Amino acid sequence: MANNSAVATRTVGFVSLGCPKAASDAEQILTRLRGEGYEITGGYDGADLVVVNTCGFIDAAVEESLDAIGEALAENGRVIVTGCLGAKKDAAGNDIVKTTHPKVLAVTGPHATNEVMDAVHAHLPPPAHDPFIDLVPPQGIRLTPDHYAYLKISEGCNHRCSFCIIPSMRGDLVSRPIGEVLKEAEVLANAGVKELLVISQDTSAYGVDVKYRTGFYGGKPVKTRLYELCKELGEMDMWVRLHYVYPYPSVDDLLPLMAEGKILPYLDVPFQHASHRILKLMKRPASSEKVLERIAAWRKMVPDLTIRSTFITGFPGETEAEFNELLDFLDEAKLDRVGAFAYSPVSGAAANALPNPVPDALREERKMRLMRHQEDISTQLLEAKIGRRMTVLVDEIDEDGAMARSAADAPDIDGLVIITDGHDLEVGDFAEVSIIDCDVHDLYATLAPA
């Protein structure tokens, strides 16, 4: 039998920044590291080297990532960089990370697990095989709590939105094989996951790159397409929540699955604007679709559908009239959840060259105006839920009760259902509650009688 104490440990510090897609990359790297017997720590102390998973989406994220690399270099000295910033060049075409921090050991772009592992092996050879430290749970290493998990279905994007540089960092759409995605979901379900958050850059486009090729799951042929994916996931006894869905006509096909309770009646659709001219300047996918009509049709099919969206204020050339068009759209669309960002130029994005940039202060002012405008709409929609009974999933217990979420609330970005008498519940429990009150973001509830 192997003697544990005789095996020299190798410890990798891991720092992860960025969006759920970056977190999903991080989980794959962590799973491989752990599978090969590396110890993992969230800091620098005692680490033999540090991997920094970066974000390069907007300039503020670039700064944050460069600072994190600088800190890791100062505290530890041996740093491997991965993630979106790793693929980003400056105006002169030089690699931003290497130019700013020439002492980093290696740099890779996003979704580059093999390259990161090669770099780790080169600078910190794997420890000798030891069955005690090589154990990785079948569901891999996850950065989310045990009861929910992200399921990344594709990488990259075929669109070229003018404010975005993700396609230049992550490349064109590459859909994961449907059999592999469904197997991963099954493993997560078996590990006790209660909610799956389906993510990608463009979830509705799943399978386009492989012409909806037929794959296999459990010996059964299944098309690589969002509808078939959702149908299969809907059989796995977990909440299934869709993020980053564009309003293509094909999305209509998913609504019956929501009506039947197979997947959650929730759509995260990043509309970004309502003015036709601005959407064209943004080069948004599905910008010419009749969005309000589509939303009305969705709600007809699934009356309790929750729609979340994000918008950009102060995009180059946005006039006051076009901004007001956006506010009018919000009045009509009555979206449940809205996030807003003041336009922030991203180096390398085509939108930077557009004429008539909106002054910084006005972009911010419009963002605040949009949020205030939406606040009344969201509050009214929350008030309409008072008195209703619903099923919620518990995320956390604290002195105020149980912090839970309903079908209408995605983790981290939406509101909570606070169960004031839920102290005895456990994280990951489903509970039936009655809604008694609300504020601007959250609902308050008590446990419903059985």
| Contacts with ligand SF4, residue ranges (CB under 6 A) | 157, 159-161, 164, 166-167, 201-202, 285
Closest approach of ligand SF4 to the CB of residue 251, in Å: 14
Closest approach of ligand SF4 to the CB of residue 61, in Å: 14
Which residue lies nearer to ligand SF4 by CB, 85 or 119? 85
Which residue lies nearer to ligand SF4 by CB, 201 or 313? 201
Which residue lies nearer to ligand SF4 by CB, 173 or 393? 173
Closest approach of ligand SF4 to the CB of residue 54, in Å: 17
Question: Do residues 81 and 366 make contact, with C-beta atoms less than 8 angstroms apart?
Answer: no
Q: Tell me the DSSP string of 231-278.
A: HHHTTSSSEEEE-S----GGGGGGHHHHHTTSS-SEEE---B---HHH
Q: Tokens at residue 220, please? A: 């059964």
In 288-359, where does DSSP find H-type helix?
291-301, 320-333
Which residue lies nearer to ligand SF4 by CB, 190 or 352? 352
Closest approach of ligand SF4 to the CB of residue 94, in Å: 23
| DSSP 8-state symbol, 220 | E
Which residue lies nearer to ligand SF4 by CB, 166 or 295? 166
Which residue lies nearer to ligand SF4 by CB, 202 or 395? 202
Closest approach of ligand SF4 to the CB of residue 210, in Å: 18
Closest approach of ligand SF4 to the CB of residue 43, in Å: 32
Q: Which residues pair with 149 in a beta bridge?
A: 196
Alpha carbons 195 and 400: distance in angstroms, whole number: 24
| Surface-to-core class of residue 16, CB atoms within 10 Å of its CB (0-12 exposed, 13-18 middle, 19+ buried) | buried
Q: Which of 299, 296, 290, 256 is nearest to 271 (CA)?
A: 290
Q: Which residues pair with 237 in a beta bridge?
A: none
Question: Do residues 25 and 53 make contact, with C-beta atoms less than 8 angstroms apart?
Answer: yes
Q: Which helix (DSSP H) or strand (DSSP E) does residue 39 occupy? A: strand 39-41
Which residue lies nearer to ligand SF4 by CB, 159 or 385? 159
Closest approach of ligand SF4 to the CB of residue 159, in Å: 4
